[in-house]
Structures are given as C-alpha cells and as structure tokens.
Structure 1
Amino acid sequence: MASGEVLWFDEERGFGFIRPHLGPRDVFVHISTLGETGLTTLVPGARVDFELTQTGDGRLTAFGIRLAERPRKRRA
C-alpha cells in the first residue's frame, strides 16, 4: 500500500491527483474508485493510503483510497 497527499480533486470533472510520498510521479485518481471505500470526494492536502495500478499507456492510477490515520500525540 502506498501513501501520499491529495494535490487536487475536481468533483465536477470527477478526477484529481495524489502526490505519493515515495515515487517520481503524481498519481491519477478517478471518482469511480472512491466509492470502493465509502469516500465521495477528496480534499487537497488530505493524507491518504492507496493501492496503485498502471494503465496500458504507463500512467499510475490510485484505487482503494483511504484517509490516513493521523499520528496520535503522546502525553508526557
């Protein structure tokens, strides 16, 4: 599973991009893949975990997208 940050997502056009924490290229995300995990949209700056697949023309596409858990603050 990969992780990254949502760069932008256009609800009207139904797609956007995620910048992975590891990897050289931004990853395409289509609105049709969000319903797999109960999401309806993505907010820029949100941290996400996702699976990757590669299309026939070499583009990376995200699916199975989940909001990443925020680290819990430790009490002293």
Structure 2
Amino acid sequence: MGRSTETFSKKEREKKRSIKLKDKKEKAEDRKASAVKGKSLDDMMAYIDENGNITSTPPDPTKRRKIVTEDIQISVPKQAEITEQDKLRTGTVSMFNSAKGFGFIRDHVTQESIFVHVNGLTEEIRENDKVTFETEQGQKGLNAIKVKIVPK
C-alpha cells in the first residue's frame, strides 16, 4: 500500500488557512451588514471643546479665546545673564588627593560633587575646607576653578 503524500504539518497548515479565510469572509459580511451609507457631513463632523475633548456639538463662540501668534514660544527661552555673584559658588572639599593633584568639592546649594584639579587652585586646600569657587564645563562635567579657602 502506498503512503499518503500529505504530512501532518501540511494538513494543519491547510486547516489554519481555511479557518482564516472563513473568518475573513465573515468579517467582511459583518462590515457590509452594519455599514450605514449616506451619512451627511454634519453627522460625520467632530469638534474639540475648550478642554480638548472630542464632541459632536460645535464649540460655543462666546468661550473662544484670542491667541496672539507672537506669544507662542517654540524654542527654549533665553536664559538670564549670569552675574559675577551667581558664578561664585561655595562648598566643602569632600576629598582631595594632593599626591595625585585632584579631588571633589560638594556644592552647598545643589549638593552636587564638582571635580577640582590642582591647576584650578589659587591656594592649597585640604579635606573639609570651606571654599569659594567658579565652575567651567570640562570634558566629563563641571570643573571647579579659582578655588579659594573661605576665611573663618
């Protein structure tokens, strides 16, 4: 006796394909049956109210706001000029290795740790010294420059 040329996986694929086709035809028939043709433009129109919600009623013209296009800001607002007083920060030396020539200062206001190098010092500092300093952008973040010890 000869074997059947159809394998189990072929039969399963054919079943799945026929079920998909059947479902697709049923969905198409449902869409045709439930389609409402001849809707007017007013029935299809949608409006947005003053709160941003979609409604079927037009908005009330008395609640309309006048928007001046010049007041709309698309870009980042300009920053205020930084004064000399704003540049000067205070902090405490949290770690300083004099042998390697670098350390970190903990800023009193922002509590961020700022890198300090020997080249940015005006006088010698040690750990736990209270200092004033300015910052500049370095390769890996902020660097403290013009570091001075605060007189006690």
Q: TM-score range by the shorter chain?
A: 0.7 to 0.9
More helix by share: 2
Count of residues paired in the alignment: 65
Query: Between Structure 1 and Structure 2, whose CA radius of gyration is higher?
Result: 2
Q: Which structure ranks higher in relative contact order (CA pairs < 8 Å, sequence separation ≥ 6)?
A: 1
Task: Give yes or no for contact 2:125–2:149 (8 Å, CA) kept in 1.
Answer: no
Structure 2: tracts of 5 or more residues without a match: 1-87
Q: Secondary structure at the match of 2:119?
A: helix
Q: TM-score, normalised by structure 2?
A: 0.40
2:51: which partner in 1? none
In the TM superposition, 1:41-60 aligns within 5 A as 41-57=124-140, 59-60=141-142
Q: Within 2, Cα distance between the matches of 1:61 and 1:32?
A: 11
Identity of aligned residues (%): 32
AA matched with 2:130 = R
C-alpha RMSD of the superposition: 1.3
Q: Runs ≥4 in structure 1, deviation > 2 angstroms? A: none
2:151: which partner in 1? 69
In the TM superposition, 1:35-46 aligns within 5 A as 37=122, 39=123, 41-46=124-129
More strand by share: 1
